[in-house]
Amino acid sequence: MSANALADDATVVARILDHIDEKSTDRGEITWREPIENYRCERRYAAEIELMRRTATPFCPSAALPQPGAWLARIAAGTPLLAVRDADNEVHVFRNACRHRGTQLAEGSGCAKAFVCRYHGWTYGLDGELRHVPHEHGFPGLDRSARGLVPVQALEVDGLVYVTQSAAPGAPPPRLAPLATPGWRMLGAGEMEIAANWKILAEGFLEGYHIRTTHAATFYPLQYDNLNVVERFGRNSRIAFPYRNVNKLRAQQPAERSADGVLTYVYHLFPNAMVATFPGRVFVVAIEPVAIDRTRLVTYVLTDHEESDTDAQAALSQGADLVARGGAEDQEMACAIQRSLASGANQFFEFGLFESAIGHFHASLHAALAGTA
Q: How far apart are CA 370 and CA 77, in angstroms?
A: 19
Cα 144-146-147 angle, rounded to 5 deg:
65
342 and 256, same structural domain?
yes
212 and 139, same structural domain?
no
Is residue 209 one of the residues assigned to a domain? yes
- pLDDT at 373 exceeding the cut of 80: no
158 and 218, same structural domain?
no
Mean predicted confidence (pLDDT) in 66-77: 97
**pLDDT value of residue 171:** 76
Q: How far apart are CA 188 and CA 179, in angstroms?
A: 16
Is residue 229 one of the residues assigned to a domain? yes
68 and 140, same structural domain?
yes
Chain centroid to Cα 289, Å, comes to 12
Q: How many CB atoms lie within 10 A of CB 337?
A: 18
186 and 73, same structural domain?
no
User: Higher model confidence: residue 289 or residue 306?
Assistant: 289
**pLDDT value of residue 320:** 82
Are 289 and 297 a contacting pair, CB within 8 Å? no
Of 164, 189, 221, the domain-final residue: 164
**pLDDT value of residue 4:** 63
Of 164, 197, 212, the domain-final residue: 164
Which of 315, 334, 338, 188 has its CA nearest to residue 261?
315
HEC-encoded secondary structure of 196-238: CCHHHHHHHCCCCCCHHHHCCCCCCCCECCCCCEEEEECCEEE
135 and 16, same structural domain?
no
Is residue 145 one of the residues assigned to a domain? yes
**pLDDT value of residue 312:** 61
331 and 204, same structural domain?
yes
pLDDT level of residue 310 (50, 70, 90 thresholds): low
Q: How far apart are CA 328 and CA 334, in angstroms?
A: 10
274 and 137, same structural domain?
no
Over the chain, what is the mean pLDDT?
Answer: 94
- pLDDT at 2 exceeding the cut of 70: no
DSSP letters, 225-273, are TT--EEEEETTEEEEEEEBGGGGGGGGS-GGG---TTTEEEEEEETTTE
Q: Please give the share of the chain, as a percent, with pLDDT higher than 70.
A: 94
Q: Please give the share of the chain, as a percent, with pLDDT higher than 90.
A: 87
* DSSP code of residue 72: E
CATH number at residue 312: 3.90.380.10
pLDDT level of residue 176 (50, 70, 90 thresholds): confident
Q: How far apart are CA 347 and CA 36, in angstroms?
A: 6
Chain centroid to Cα 360, Å, comes to 17
- pLDDT at 181 exceeding the cut of 80: no
- pLDDT at 1 exceeding the cut of 60: no
**Relative orientation angle of helices 42-54 and 356-370, to the nearest 10 degrees:** 90
Is residue 84 one of the residues assigned to a domain? yes
Chain centroid to Cα 29, Å, comes to 27
319 and 259, same structural domain?
yes
pLDDT digits (tens, 9 = 90+) for 109-126: 999 999 999 999 999 999
Is residue 41 one of the residues assigned to a domain? yes
- pLDDT at 131 exceeding the cut of 80: yes
**pLDDT value of residue 252:** 96
**pLDDT value of residue 288:** 98
Is residue 36 one of the residues assigned to a domain? yes
65 and 36, same structural domain?
no
Is residue 170 one of the residues assigned to a domain? no
Distances (CA, A) of 293 to 34, 112, 195: 17, 36, 6
Of 136, 164, 192, the domain-final residue: 164
Distances (CA, A) of 227 to 207, 251, 357: 9, 21, 13
Which of 232, 233, 227, 270 has its CA nearest to residue 246?
227
- pLDDT at 177 exceeding the cut of 90: no
**pLDDT value of residue 184:** 86
Structural domain that includes position 21? 3-55+175-370
pLDDT digits (tens, 9 = 90+) for 42-61: 999 999 999 999 999 999 99
pLDDT digits (tens, 9 = 90+) for 214-256: 999 999 999 999 999 999 999 999 999 999 999 999 999 999 9
User: Higher model confidence: residue 307 or residue 327?
Assistant: 327
pTM: 0.95
Domain count, the chain: 2
Q: How many CB atoms lie within 10 A of CB 213?
A: 11
User: Higher model confidence: residue 316 or residue 91?
Assistant: 91
230 and 307, same structural domain?
yes
Is residue 169 one of the residues assigned to a domain? no
287 and 155, same structural domain?
no
CATH number at residue 159: 2.102.10.10
**pLDDT value of residue 174:** 85
**pLDDT value of residue 313:** 63
- pLDDT at 180 exceeding the cut of 60: no
